[in-house]
């Protein structure tokens, strides 16, 4: 089922919903929907509604709300904390796959080895939204931006911390997540000695992703896939 998205401020209770901007233009100009047609609209908070288009304008459509299907909120938060990757295509690939693999939240941060680059928050939110719709999810992951690993730990105080690190001894891992967790992947240069020490001081666990050295975006998919059904 193809569906579209409207943020909370565009819903009028259980009566109607507005789609504006590029989303409306895609529905009306590209897909050629019109008044009277039925579309499905997600609220990003667990529900997808069947809606009937009532009126259209250049970049605006209004639809009445009908029945819905829903999915319970994830019982365990699965946060990806990713050090900023300098190469944009690889950075965006990592975020896209994190959404597809079930991350409930994506936190990006400047690690000690991050090669500083400007973060386009608007572009990243659009990327997350596109992956959310493509993968058929009911809950839209939030994007959190922090300036350092220290700030990440402060933000997620009540989570368990799991960090992928290439020097960790390889062990079989069969258990899933048992509480809200942050899964850490470093940037191209990996984590610094200071950050590794900080992780230990915060009660963090180190896990291996195998004997081969992985690029950061590959590490994201390898790490999250271990907890896909947690």
Pick the CATH number of 78-225 from 3.30.70.2740, 3.30.499.10, 3.30.360.10, 3.40.1280.10: 3.40.1280.10
What does pTM read for this prediction?
0.91
Q: Can you tell me the distance from the alpha carbon of 70 to that of 228, in angstroms, rounded to the nearest whole number?
A: 20
For the chain, the distance separating the N- and C-terminal CA atoms, rounded to the nearest angstrom, is 25
Question: Taking 60 as the threshold, does the pLDDT of residue 172 lie above it?
Answer: no
In sequence order, what are the beta bridge partners of 109? 83, 146
pLDDT for 210: 85
Q: Can you tell me the distance from the alpha carbon of 200 to that of 59, in angstroms, rounded to the nearest whole number?
A: 51
Please report, rounded to a whole number, the percentage of residues in the chain having pLDDT higher than 90: 79
Question: Taking 90 as the threshold, does the pLDDT of residue 178 lie above it?
Answer: no
What are the residue ranges spanned by the domains of the chain?
4-70, 78-225
In terms of Cα–Cα distance, which of 69, 73, 75, 7 is closest to 43? 7
Q: Can you tell me the distance from the alpha carbon of 110 to that of 83, in angstroms, rounded to the nearest whole number?
A: 6
What b/e string do you get for 170-198 counting C-beta neighbours within 10 Å, with b at 16 or more?
Answer: eeeeeeebeebbbbbbbbbebbeeebbeb
Which CATH architecture fits 4-70? Beta Barrel (2.40)
Q: pLDDT tens digit string along 122-153?
A: 999 999 999 999 999 999 999 999 999 999 99
**Where does the pLDDT of residue 173 fall: very low under 50, low under 70, confident under 90, or very high at 90 and above?**
low
Q: pLDDT tens digit string along 75-128?
A: 999 999 999 999 899 999 999 999 999 999 999 999 998 887 788 999 999 999
pLDDT for 116: 73
pLDDT for 169: 67
pLDDT for 117: 74
DSSP states of 149-202:
HHHHHHHTTTSEEEEE-TTSPP--------S-EEEEE--TT---HHHHHHHHHT
pLDDT for 140: 98
């Amino acid at each position: 089922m193809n569906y579209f998205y409207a943020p909370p401020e565009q819903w009028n209770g259980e009566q109607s919903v507005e789609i504006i901007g590029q989303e409306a233009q895609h529905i009306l100009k590209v897909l050629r929907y019109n008044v009277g047609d039925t579309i499905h609209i997600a609220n990003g908070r667990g529900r997808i509604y069947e809606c009937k288009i009532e009126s259209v304008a250049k970049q605006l459509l209004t639809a009445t709300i009908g029945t819905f299907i829903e999915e319970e909120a994830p019982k365990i938060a699965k946060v990806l904390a990713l050090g900023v990757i300098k190469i944009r295509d690889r950075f965006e690939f990592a975020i896209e796959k994190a959404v597809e693999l079930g991350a409930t939240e994506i936190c990006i941060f400047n690690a000690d080895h991050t090669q500083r680059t400007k973060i386009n928050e608007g572009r990243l939110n659009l990327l997350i939204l596109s992956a959310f719709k493509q993968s058929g999810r009911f809950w839209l992951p939030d994007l959190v931006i922090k300036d350092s690993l220290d700030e990440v730990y402060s933000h997620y105080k009540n989570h368990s911390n799991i960090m992928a690190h290439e020097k960790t001894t390889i062990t079989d891992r069969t258990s899933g997540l048992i509480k809200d967790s942050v899964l850490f992947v470093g940037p191209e240069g990996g984590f610094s000695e200071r950050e590794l020490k900080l992780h230990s001081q915060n009660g963090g666990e180190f896990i291996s992703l195998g004997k081969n050295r992985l690029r950061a975006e590959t590490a994201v998919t390898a790490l999250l896939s271990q907890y896909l059904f947690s």
